[in-house]
Amino acid sequence: MINKVISHFKILEKLGEGGMGVVYKAHDTVLDRSVALKFLPSHLIQDEESKIRLKNEAKAASSLDHPNICTIHEIGEHEGQPYIAFALVEGDTLEVRLSAGPLPLGQAIEIAKQISKGLSVAHEKSIVHRDLKPANIMIDKHGIVKIMDFGLARRTGATKVTKTGSTLGTLAYMSPEQVRGEEIDGRADLWSLGAILIEMVTGEKPFQADYDASLMYEILNEAPKGLSTIHEISSPLFKIVDGLLERDVRNRITSASELNRRLNKIEVSRVSLVERKTATRLVTKSKDSLTTRVVREIRRRRLLPYLGSYLVLSIGLLQAVSYPYLITICS
């Protein structure tokens, strides 16, 4: 595909490949700009359902005009292969950033704020992403978050294109109602964002298992991993995440705009609370005197009841050893 011309786009390089598409960097020869082109992978070209889903991505995303949603330029077809041209975002996916470990608290909250803003616009138009995950979140070189890949997006109430009994979305971030194959709305995206928030702050997914069936069981029945850590870091954030990961959709945070309002109320200092607590522990440890550490060790090992006996025995031994020398000196 490299150097091949598709319509008025010249393919320059391959950017990535996922279950629903192959993405290339291309040059728009008409408007003289760099774009990203997404094609269905070759083994799915004959799958009519995948073609419909790809076109739905363009229709859904092209109706959304917001800084936190990737802009769709056009949709087309070349030699029977559909493609979408969209804005080229220079930066990293959230997935790539998380591969280096958890993010500072302030940065995680800022990313969540921007995602919630984009989702709010989509949900107001009854468009549900359905596959929100770190791999579908881009962060450009200016720190602007872009929600990518509306390949699973569908307007609420629109005709389903999925096969009977099938479930779309990446399992680890799916809401319980999505796992059960029920009708969903924007609150399913909010559950996914709650799972992403835990991963951003703790570095671990809230639901993990080796097999899909086990993972589905965890989502439907088990407490999310990392919630207790969130509580230690920030009580206000804990309340938000707990509200996002409410299994009963009726009790979940109701909208992305409400989520954004709550996130904006959290005050985050320049140094995260985790870093501050760690620094405090280190300073306290360095200031401990030898006596303090000995006393703490005695208490930890529960040796205090025996301390008196040790002292009496030590004094007795000292007297016994010193007695002959005392006689010599006195005489």
Residues 216, 232 within the same domain: yes
Residues 162, 203 within the same domain: yes
Adjacent-strand bridge partners of 76: 83
Question: Which structural domain range is residue 312 located in?
Answer: 288-330
Residues 209, 319 within the same domain: no
* ∠ CA 94-100-103, rounded to 5°: 65
Given this model, what pLDDT does residue 21 score? 79
Residues 125, 263 within the same domain: yes
Tens-digit pLDDT profile for residues 214-223: 999 999 999 9
Residue 218 forms part of a structural domain: yes
Given this model, what pLDDT does residue 58 score? 73
Q: Model's pTM, two decimal places?
A: 0.76
Q: What is the C-alpha to C-alpha distance for residues 159 and 147, in angstroms, rounded to an integer?
A: 23
Last residue of a domain, one of 87, 121, 146: 87
Residues 158, 41 within the same domain: no
Residues 202, 137 within the same domain: yes
Q: How many residues does the chain have?
A: 331
Secondary structure of residue 254 in the 3-state scheme: coil
Q: What is the C-alpha to C-alpha distance for residues 174 and 219, in angstroms, rounded to an integer?
A: 8
Q: Are 224 and 275 in contact (CB under 8 A)?
A: no
Last residue of a domain, one of 87, 116, 139: 87
Q: Are 149 and 131 in contact (CB under 8 A)?
A: yes
What's phi and psi for 170, nearest 5 deg? Answer: -90, 120
Residues 19, 106 within the same domain: no
pLDDT > 90 fraction of the chain, expressed in percent and rounded: 56
Residues 245, 308 within the same domain: no
Q: Are 229 and 283 in contact (CB under 8 A)?
A: no
Tens-digit pLDDT profile for residues 97-107: 999 999 999 99
Given this model, what pLDDT does residue 151 score? 58
Residues 267, 303 within the same domain: no
Residues 168, 27 within the same domain: no
**Over residues 125-138, mean pLDDT:** 92
Which of 269-273, 279-283, 301-305 has the lowest average pLDDT?
279-283
Residues 51, 125 within the same domain: no
Q: What is the C-alpha to C-alpha distance for residues 246 and 250, in angstroms, rounded to an integer?
A: 9
Is the confidence at residue 300, as pLDDT, over 60? Answer: no
Q: Are 136 and 157 in contact (CB under 8 A)?
A: no
Residue 119 forms part of a structural domain: yes
Q: What is the C-alpha to C-alpha distance for residues 85 and 224, in angstroms, rounded to an integer?
A: 37
Last residue of a domain, one of 87, 111, 128: 87
Domain containing 109 — which CATH number? 1.10.510.10
Q: What is the C-alpha to C-alpha distance for residues 238 and 228, in angstroms, rounded to an integer?
A: 8
Is the confidence at residue 331, as pLDDT, over 50? Answer: no
What's phi and psi for 100, nearest 5 deg? Answer: -90, -5
Domain containing 69 — which CATH number? 3.30.200.20
Is the confidence at residue 187, as pLDDT, over 90? Answer: yes
Tens-digit pLDDT profile for residues 232-274: 999 999 999 999 999 999 999 999 999 999 999 998 654 444 5
Q: Are 226 and 201 in contact (CB under 8 A)?
A: yes
What does the mean pLDDT of the chain come to?
80
* pLDDT range class, residue 82, cuts 50, 70, 90: confident
State which amino acid sits at residue 77: E
Residue 173 forms part of a structural domain: yes
Would you give the DSSP letter of residue 125? T
Number of domains in the chain: 3
Given this model, what pLDDT does residue 80 score? 75
Residue 257 forms part of a structural domain: yes
Catalytic residues: 131
Residue 283 forms part of a structural domain: no
Residues 100, 23 within the same domain: no
